[in-house]
Amino acid sequence: MKLIAHDYQKYCSRFIENNKISAILLECGLGKSSITLMAIKNLLFDYFLSHKILIIAPLRVCINTWPTEVTKWEDFKDLKVSLCVGKEQERIEGLKRKADIYIINRENVEWLVKNFEREFDFDTVVIDELSSFKSHKSNRFKYLYKVRSRVNRIIGLTGTPSSNGLADLFAEYKILDGGLRLGMYITQFRNNFFMPDKRNGNIIYSYKIKDGGEDAIYERIKDITISMKTTDYLKMPELVKNNLLVELSNDDKKRYKEFKKEMVLKLKDDEITAKTAATLSNKLLQMANGSVYDDDKVSHHIHDVKLDELENVIEMMNGKPILVAYWFNEDLKRIKERFPNAREIKTNEDINDWNNKKISIGLIQPQSAGHGLNLQDGGSNIVWFSLTWNLELYEQLNARLYRQGQKSDSVVIHHIVCKGTIDEQVINALENKKSVQDDLLNAVKANLKD
């Protein structure tokens, strides 16, 4: 099949070709893989500026997306691809094969550099999901940075560059330009663009952007960055977000408030403690969903109001497929007990059956299925049974349905929100984080008329 590239895709491809460092911030569905392959092909065979390419991506994207894009389009038939995933011997064999493009999952970057640092001769590196390098303390960042100076051209791809705020950009851009634009050190970055927020004496727990800090960051990175929103360039279905409010009984409200205040909840003869704010957050989310784990990882039932609401949604769908996002294993167990015909979407067979409408209730965990899945043929409704603080996973999962090729006129994102609980804070936080990211994307948005 011949690839008929959109104008914006040609524009992005030329940008990659013309810049040794490029950050391509494309929302899901805009075809970042095809855009990058267009540029790689030209760099390899027309301009002779690239000779050996390494693509680093999430495991599922390594296996499904990149090889599929190469074989799908006639334009890329001359590209030789070697997949370097799986067991160690399989990875080694993949690296030994003669190819133009080598693909490895991000979890094995440390292994690659540790074992083949002296032989590391990739002149071009593509980081698919640049946001997965947002921590400068992570091993994948540290080991890739060790060999960054050997790389002549680097391409960062993501649709969610600042899912937790602009602080994410420090590591992402340092891996691209070595710290040239936003600073070599995190303290330098913070001093230039941020100020202390929450603190206890000399201990600073969080930072907030200075007045003018956002604009200063955008100005520093704009020469190597372009961004595009799906709705600007593709005809997309209407996106509808629907909050379904449920309410706890008076007794459960009391238990919830007591637990939040005291960080201790007694269920029967068991005492559950939350030692940190993060742990407490998870415990409260579990309570809002209907069950909570104790310190021995034993689950205790609290309520079924979310299950009841999910049942109402399923009945309203009248057989129309829905995708249900869950977070905790106990949520999965309880959903499957209530709806025996519900099926997890984990394997390629599950994905195919979903897209062929053989699954009416698909269950999906955002951490394991956020990136690289095309699920738009199977339905147009997502129900978030469990909410998450993680904007990146939230948006990536929604984009499995809200993307190019969706045949429905609308995609509906339902959130089951338990009133008076942490669920309401999560929804607000996702919206607040979204505004930060939108500001970033708008500030460096590509102008196709340039």
- The CATH number of the domain holding residue 82 is 3.40.50.10810
The answer to whether 397 and 364 have CB atoms below 8 angstroms apart is yes
282 and 415, same domain (yes or no): yes
Rounded Cα distance, 34 and 75, in Å: 10
Burial 435-444 (b: 16+ CB within 10 A, else e): ebbeebbebb
Q: Which residues pair with 226 in a beta bridge?
A: 24
Domain end residue (candidates: 169, 202, 231): 231
Q: What pLDDT does residue 130 have?
A: 95
What pTM, to 2 d.p., does this model score?
0.81
Same-domain status, 250 and 372? yes
Domain count of the chain?
2
Whether 224 and 242 share a structural domain: no
Question: What pLDDT is stored for residue 264 in this prediction?
Answer: 63
226 lies in the same domain as 180: yes
Same domain, 200 and 134: yes
Predicted confidence (pLDDT) per residue in 31-85, tens digit: 899 999 999 999 999 999 999 999 999 888 898 789 989 998 999 999 999 999 9
Q: Which of 16, 5, 221 is nearest to 127 (CA)?
A: 16
Q: Do 163 and 18 lie in a common domain?
A: yes
User: What's the angle, vertex CA 182, arms to CA 396 and CA 445, rounded to 5?
Assistant: 50
Same domain? 36 vs 100: yes
Which residues are paired to 21 by β-bridges? 154
pLDDT tens digits, residue range 101-146? 999 999 999 999 999 999 999 999 999 999 999 999 999 999 999 9
CATH of the domain at 268: 3.40.50.300
The secondary structure of the chain in percent helix, strand, coil, rounded to multiples of 5, reads 45, 20, 35
Residue 388 DSSP label: -
Residue at 267 is within a domain:
yes
Q: Please answer whether residues 174 and 138 qualify as being in contact, where contact means their C-beta atoms are separated by less than 8 angstroms.
A: no
- How many angstroms from the chain centroid is the CA of residue 10? 25
**Confidence at residue 246, expressed as pLDDT on a 0 to 100 scale:** 94
Say whether pLDDT at 224 is over 90.
Answer: yes
Other CB atoms within a 10 A radius of the CB of residue 151 amount to: 17
In this structure, the answer to whether residues 286 and 199 fall within a common structural domain is: no
**Strands 410-418 and 381-384, how do they pair?**
parallel
275-289 tens-digit pLDDT: 567 788 888 999 999
Side by side, which strands form the sheet with 124-128?
81-83, 101-105, 53-57, 124-128, 153-158, 21-26, 225-228
Residue-number span of the structural domain to which 174 is assigned: 7-231
Q: In this structure, are 165 and 271 located in the same domain?
A: no
Are residues 343 and 410 both part of a single domain?
yes
**For 336, phi and psi rounded to 5 degrees?**
-70, -35
Domain assignment present for 425:
yes
Q: Which pLDDT tens digit goes with each residue over 147-196?
A: 999 999 999 999 889 878 899 999 999 999 999 999 999 999 999 999 99
Classify residue 356 by burial, with Cβ atoms within 10 Å: 0-12, 13-18, 19+. exposed
- Looking at 212, 231, 250, which one is the last position of a domain? 231
